[in-house]
């Protein structure tokens, strides 16, 4: 039988941690204040959605053209079979 060693985390101190100051050099690059939630879609996201919709439309057109070509080919084969039987 193997022994299990249980390790417990040290007890949390009841006192709050002291506040630390932030270096002024680190603060120099910060501008603005609160983050304002976006009310419109990101332009990059809109462009991506537009490209995706164009790609889907293109695939749909290609699929429709391929089906039409296949059905025309099937009709030609059936016509040839009917003509060969009629002779």
**How many other C-beta atoms are found inside a 10 Å radius of the C-beta of residue 36?**
7
Q: How many CB atoms lie within 10 A of CB 21?
A: 6
> Does some domain include residue 72?
yes
Specify if 23 maps to a domain. Answer: no
Tell me how far apart the alpha carbons of residues 78 and 72 are, in angstroms, rounded to a whole number.
10
Q: Per the domain annotation, does 56 fall within a domain?
A: yes
pTM across the whole model:
0.42
Q: How far is CA 28 from the centre of its chain?
A: 36
Per-residue pLDDT of the chain (87 residues; tens, 9 = 90+): 456 655 656 566 678 888 888 888 888 877 777 777 778 888 899 999 999 999 999 999 999 999 888 888 889 999 999 888 876
Within-domain flag for 8: no
Looking at the structure of the chain, the number of domains it has is 1
Q: Give the domain extent around 50.
A: 42-86
d(CA 43, CA 45) in angstroms, rounded, equals 5
Is there a domain that residue 13 lies in?
Answer: no
Is there a domain that residue 61 lies in? Answer: yes
66 within domain boundaries: yes
């Amino acid at each position: 039988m193997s022994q299990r060693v249980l390790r417990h985390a040290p007890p949390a101190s009841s006192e709050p941690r002291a506040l630390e100051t932030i270096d002024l050099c680190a603060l120099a690059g910060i501008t603005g204040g609160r983050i304002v939630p976006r009310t419109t879609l990101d332009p990059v996201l809109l462009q991506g959605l537009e490209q995706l919709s164009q790609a889907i439309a293109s695939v749909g057109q290609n699929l429709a053209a391929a089906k039409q070509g296949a059905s025309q080919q099937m009709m030609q084969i059936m016509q040839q079979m009917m003509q060969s039987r009629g002779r």
